[in-house]
Chains A and B, each alone.
Chain A
């Protein structure tokens, strides 16, 4: 028996290790067929399954048991089976259900993007852009909360929270003393700390990076600038507590903020410590590497030019190369 299983997602077959989730298999293919994920975070154990934006249809369970799964499943928590066939963007049912989920996520979200620091790098904004309705059908008052300071560097703006639980898992897994969790239930749930205790930990700042929306923001950066006016530069330093590999966000000569490096799915590559994040805001502290690669679909990428590269799955498959010939020629013209 081979140690790889074959899974077909939207007609594209890929071989992955057993135990891989559908979402991660789709990420190995890349491109449009990757389901969006608001709560799943590959670096956090136990995350996922909550936001339901990554739901897909399993039209064939496996080679052995070809029955389709009765319900749409969360791709971030469903492992692949050999011969599984998954439909994501090719299934109208999935698209409809996903737009329903996006609508649900947005009904209690303040949509205050013009004054939100996350705007421009917000996962919910991207998701709403792709799947949202033109106009809300929700005609009631949205739930509101007071803003809370978690320590002197982080602010929690619960109105914007979509309860993805990422920050809870972060606080639980990369910090040793857990004082951060969920209070109440249903749509009154809120992220909070234990009796307003400040989260005091070297790695607490990472909750800002994992937050998919603008609920947890960096107080040293709040209202300083819009992210698309800043220039991200990868840099590193010799840090005794973390890897020290970061992205510096420049405006002119000044470093406005420091974040961990994020991959194309918005997930941090390595968590960084609070000293790097909040205290080292001088170019002299850092060894500059190169400008950060930003996806050309992001607003941050305006004025940054990059060659478009064909997806990895196309690169080593002559058949797909042939099929996408026109597209590929277009990209090489740039």
Chain B
């Protein structure tokens, strides 16, 4: 059993309260950082740990921190991005619900490292219970002297605020988040300037994911080198994976990066295999934005080596035979699932969530959604499939923020790997309405197909 860093005490009753959390060794990192380390040393530890951003892009967190401009007399801000809205990702909500103090502790350490005296946690508007939990946790921490003026007598001041968002997916993009936090319409800004130079209210700002911030706690407790020992290659540490879909035990798992995908899906310690004894058809490895992969490419790389849960291995083979780590929203599809319907569903989401600022994404997401809707409901044409590929190419890379890419990739990859299914939908316009491709062709309707591999 791998060592848990973030979810170690998840099963302790009352871990969401300050007292229990403190008893279990919580807030040690704050004491250590504020009393024995300088801010630069904290940044150095995080750099040494090799921690990579857990929000999706996988940019090294320590590096991001060291890019922060430090002009004299200008405030700096740390903003925690808790606007978790990616379909298939729910790890941050889980963490905030059950161990809110891990995030608060991480916020204190990270704000100290960056020299921020005011920090914000931008929580998605739909997560009202989590907002209450965080506010309660902040009040508890403040009572205990871990927040506010002169924390632990070290002279460091920090105010922490929770800001509910309006529930827009686009506000998870860091510059849109900052716009929204400033009270404006959540449109992504045009970069450069990057938030590290001019972010919130024009001041240097760092925006980090909930999990990245929480991960600084074990890094400070054990040291960056110790953290870097976990994991494989440049993917260090542990990662929360939100497993969902047709799995025996979906849920949030903390894994060591470098775990084979096969083990993650089939071992009893994790997801326990595919539900109802079905076979795996496809996976979306990192939340809805990343390319979908068929089962064979999920478990093995193109060259036959086993695929691992790490930033490098999941993206091995580029977009032709690979995917991305993304935010760790692992969705498994069994052979009964319809890829066309799923692609349409994702595309509907991106159509709904596009901010409407730049043209390719605003118009293109709607177009793709309409074409996919037509195919799914049996009104498609063969030329529609190539049209979709073409439209997705015209969106990809031509937009202000990554939402355009995120909308284009699932469509392009679904057609790349499951073109036969799209063609079947066009050829069988009536049958596709009540049966899906898998059941019509190879899958057994009753659950008796054997599990391909199991260990």
Contacts and interface: CB of A to CB of B under 8 A. Distances in A.
A51 B354 contact: no
Nearest to B355: A185
Given A49-B190, A52-B399, A101-B394, A186 B360 contact: no
A182 interface: yes
B387 A186 contact: no
Contacts of B398: 52, 55, 71-72, 97, 100-101
A186 B370 contact: no
Q: Which of A71, A104, A138, A165 has the most CB of B within 10 A?
A: A104
B356 A52 contact: no
A13 B395 CA distance: 31
B190 A186 contact: no
A101 B362 contact: no
Interface of B (DSSP majority class): helix
B351 A104 contact: no
Given A55-B398, A72-B398, A101-B398, A186 B362 contact: yes
B7 interface: no
Nearest to A168: B185
Interface string B340-369: 000000000001111111111011111100
Interface residues of A, number: 33
Contacts of A108: 363, 366
A181 B187 CA distance: 13
A51 B190 CA distance: 12
A140 B358 contact: no
Range of interface residues on B (Cβ < 8 Å):
20 to 34
A52 B366 contact: no
A71 B402 CA distance: 12
A107 B363 contact: yes
B356 A105 contact: no
A255 to B, nearest CB: 36
B131 interface: no
Contacts of A189: 356, 362
B362 A51 contact: no
Contact of A188 (B356, B358, B387): B356
B152 interface: no
Nearest to B404: A52
Given A104-B364, A138-B367, A140-B370, A184 B394 contact: no
A232 to B, nearest CB: 30
Contacts of B399: 52
B168 interface: yes
Contacts of A52: 358-360, 398-399
Nearest to A49: B190
Contacts of A188: 356
B400 interface: yes
B170 interface: yes
Interface in A46-87: 48-53, 55, 71-72, 74, 77
Contacts of B362: 104, 163, 186-187, 189
Given A49-B400, A182-B356, A186-B352, 10 more contacts: A52-B358, A77-B190, A100-B360, A104-B395, A163-B356, A163-B362, A181-B185, A186-B366, A187-B356, A187-B363
Interface of A: 48-53, 55, 71-72, 74, 77, 97, 100-101, 103-105, 107-108, 137-138, 140, 162-163, 165, 181-182, 184-189
15 contacts: A48-B190, A53-B359, A72-B397, A72-B398, A100-B395, A101-B394, A101-B398, A103-B394, A104-B359, A104-B367, A108-B363, A181-B185, A186-B353, A186-B355, A187-B363
